[in-house]
Amino acid sequence: MAKKYSKTKLKSFRKSIEEKMGNVSDEVDTIKEGLGTASNKMGGVTPDSIFSLHMADAGTDSHEQEKSFMLLNRESDYFKKLEIALERIDNESFGVCKICEGLIPEERMMEVPNATKCVGCKEKEKLGLI
């Protein structure tokens, strides 16, 4: 590896990632609360809509439940990626591009802490050049 972030920088990245993990955890809890017992087997009819048995209302409720499950999955996946980023901090490979082994800019790592490629390599990969 050509370069690595200093231990001080890695500590600041860790702090930022842990804050993001806290936010994601809070969002997951909120989504779970919103789901509540909505995952019952009443065909999309939630306790909130028990008195509105109109098909359109039940369909809307079912759609909202499905959307909540998708958000829950997305947030859970992001949380796992942040955990992996913490592992990369521990082995000091955080912020190093997996392709060119160059240092990924600090700004990118603060915004996308689960990034494993620099912008240039990511673009080349998307274009099929790598």
Three-class DSSP labels, 80-106: HHHHHHHHHHHCCCCCECCCCCCECCH
- pTM (predicted TM-score): 0.75
Structure confidence by residue, pLDDT tens digits, 80-129: 999 999 999 999 999 999 999 999 999 999 999 999 999 999 999 999 88
Burial of 104 (0-12, 13-18, 19+ CB in 10 A): buried
Helix (H) or strand (E) holding 52: none
CATH for 7-126? 1.20.120.910
Distances (CA, A) of 116 to 71, 74, 75, 101, 123: 23, 19, 19, 10, 13
